[in-house]
Amino acid sequence: MTTSSRTGNTGRTAPTPALLRTAAELDALPRPAGAERAVVMTMGALHDGHATLIRTAREAAGPDGQVVVTVFVNPLQFGEAADLDRYPRTLDADLATAAAAGADAVFAPGVDEVYPGGEPQVRITAGPMGERLEGASRPGHFDGMLTVVAKLLHLTRPDEAFYGQKDAQQLALIARMVRDLNFGVRITGVPTVRDADGLALSSRNRFLSPQERHTALALSRALFAAQDRLAAQQALHERAKATAPGGDRAAGLNRLGEARAAADAQAVALARPNGAPAAVRATARAVLDEAAARDRHPLVLDYLALVDPADFTEIPDDRESGEAVLAVAARVGETRLIDNIPLTFGALT
């Protein structure tokens, strides 16, 4: 079960992309006249999720356009030096992955090139949205992320930049920065890519033992269970509404012989046409609680939140329609993982 998107091969030959180490080399990169430049920003350790971003950028830029991939492990967004040191560096493999996916150039600068005077004195601040969820767990993370994204956007000068929806809060903040500060670039989100077992692809997955990976699958199971619960609850309400005399949904559900299911879905008690956010949260929480109770390799939950994608504030329990993001973060062993899934309340009405 997955909502992932895997873009197919472009059929394009895969020459080795130009490896650029300095801003001067990047600035000297010939830009095709009249064609678009697309950029994909990464911290390296590329996997098929990154390859999907590059393939999507390649398709969007077209055969005459240009795709630039950045590889830079940004120290500003790491809270602990040990976590920064632990992040995998695999540039040779990254070049091969970028080439196969259709990149024209890889910009892989050193820290001194990006921050020539040391850590920058002037930075982008993420504001209130950046203090929630990931921002609360990792203070300063989003300020560091937005600062480097702003610098890389200025350096690469793309027409369009592509980011994965797995980092939903990051994507929302980048889009907000671009809108609020009038950057001349289009920001495009690409759906999360998952392994066959449902685990969202991440460079950090390589740190999981087989047993820890089994535990980590609770994250995606929780999200998809909540998605299924919402879909079933909304479908049940729609059926009740269609059969209810005078709009009495409880009576309609009873006519369908589904009074017990209706009670489980809070349909009778709440008398709403759609599933309550509380039911979505409770369904996901039950899966995560089970994983946390394991004697070996337990999952330690950081947060589970159902939020508005516009500002990442919590969705109220009386929400009956609109978009939402169900987001989760947890630690399994020494590895911290995040995942999310988009939801739509009132999708069947």
From first CA to last CA, the distance across the chain in angstroms is: 25
Distance CA 186, CA 59 (A): 15
Record the tokens describing residue 219, joined without a space.
Answer: 């994250």
Burial class (CB in 10 A: 0-12, 13-18, 19+), 298: middle
If phi over 0 gives left and psi between -120 and 50 gives alpha, with beta otherwise, what is residue 201?
Answer: beta
Would you list the DSSP string of 197-253? TSPBP-GGGGG--HHHHHHHHHHHHHHHHHHHHHHHHHHHHHHHHHH-GGG-HHHHH
Q: Which entry of 47, 50, 141, 237 is annotated as an active-site residue?
A: 50
Active site residue 50: yes
Distance CA 288, CA 306 (A): 15
Other beta carbons within 10 angstroms of residue 10's beta carbon come to 15
Mapped onto helix, strand or coil, the DSSP state of residue 47 is coil
Residue carrying the six token digits 């996901």: 284
Phi and psi at residue 255, in whole multiples of 5°? -60, -35
Cβ atoms 58, 102 nearer than 8 A: yes
- CA angle 312/318/322 to nearest 5° reads 55
Q: Please, what sign has the CA dihedral across residues 89, 93, 99, 100? A: negative
Query: Strand pairing partners for 105?
Result: 18, 68
Among all residues, which ones are annotated catalytic? Answer: 50
